[in-house]
Amino acid sequence: MISVAIDGPSGAGKSSMAKTLAAELGFIYVDTGAMYRSIGLYGMRKGIDLHNEETVKELLKEISIRLAFEDGSQHIYLNNEDVSQEIRKEEAGMAASAVASQTAVRQFLLDLQRNLAQNHNVLMDGRDIGTVILPNATVKIYLTASVQARTERRCKQLQEKGQSADFETVKKDIEQRDWQDINRKTAPLKKAEDAFEVDTSDMTLEQSFETMLQLIRKQAGLKGESI
């Protein structure tokens, strides 16, 4: 099986890149952030203290998470309920961030993520895929962009959705999330030694896509067609 690990800070474009690349290559796209978001959502609904590791650990016993691939897109089921839309809300992102630093939560998701890569050709994105989950991934990419570029893109996205976007506030949020991801004790965000770094600060979407596609094909020994 071929596995492509894509890690990097939030807002670097990992999920949109991974999604299009997976479609092009005929691989399954595994969005690991969605799994953390689902656990966060469940805890939020239960009204528990998401920072209390013991309580969250107990809660894991009630949770089952399943990914399904329907009509070319990934759906995530939390105890058989499709929560693909709901986990995209800002609060679910915050809840995910609270539980993602906890060892029990990361352990809970580890097997699920590894099993997917054992049974399918995957493109998996997250923060610790190349370092912890798939240390023997066929190709590892560390996708990054400057804080300035990521802030500009995020502001544009928000404006397109008709939401207000204050540059300095968005920038501070991005810096804060970087700090949290890089400095947490368990599975912090870092570039694997054997990962290729792709900095998209000065690239268009098309250029980022082409750069990554060529890199993956070359490293995985794939010809120019999907397999």
Candidates 59-67, 126-134, 153-161, 197-205: pick the segment binding ligand DC (CB under 6 A): 126-134
Q: How far is CA 110 from CA 16, 32, 81, 103, 104, in A?
A: 23, 10, 21, 10, 10
Sheet of 3-7: strands edge to edge? 28-31, 122-126, 3-7, 139-144, 196-199
Largest CA distance in the chain: 50
Q: Which of 5, 6, 10, 123 touches ligand DC (CB under 6 A)?
A: 10
Helix ranges, 5-100 (H): 14-25, 32-46, 53-60, 90-100
Q: How far is CA 28 from the centre of its chain?
A: 14
Find residue 140's DSSP bridge partners. Answer: 5
User: Per-residue string for binding with ligand DC, 169-188, x by CB under 6 A?
Assistant: ------------x-------
Q: How far is CA 5 from the centre of its chain?
A: 10
Residues 6 or more apart whose CB falls under 8 angstroms from that of 134 comprise 3, 5, 113, 114, 117, 124
The yes or no reply on residue 33 touching ligand DC (CB under 6 A) is yes
The yes or no reply on residue 130 touching ligand DC (CB under 6 A) is no
User: Per-residue string for binding with ligand DC, 57-96, x by CB under 6 A?
Assistant: ------------------------------------x--x
Q: Which of 60, 102, 117, 127 touches ligand DC (CB under 6 A)?
A: 127
Q: Which is nearer to ligand DC, 9 or 138 (CB)?
A: 9
* Closest separation in Å from C-beta 181 to ligand DC: 6
Report angle CA 182, 172, 186 to the nearest 5 degrees: 20
Determine the size of the site formed for ligand DC (CB under 6 A). Answer: 13
Q: Which is nearer to ligand DC, 175 or 222 (CB)?
A: 175
* Closest separation in Å from C-beta 133 to ligand DC: 7
The yes or no reply on residue 100 touching ligand DC (CB under 6 A) is yes
Structure tokens given for 45: 């609904």
Question: Any idea what DSSP says for residue 162?
Answer: T
* Closest separation in Å from C-beta 49 to ligand DC: 17
The yes or no reply on residue 140 touching ligand DC (CB under 6 A) is no
- The interface with ligand DC within residues 35-64 (CB under 6 A) comprises 36-37
Q: Which of 9, 13, 43, 126 touches ligand DC (CB under 6 A)?
A: 126
**Cβ contacts of 167-171, under 8 Å, gap ≥ 24:** 171/147
Residues contributing to the site for ligand DC (CB under 6 A): 10, 32-33, 36-37, 93, 96-97, 100, 126-128, 181
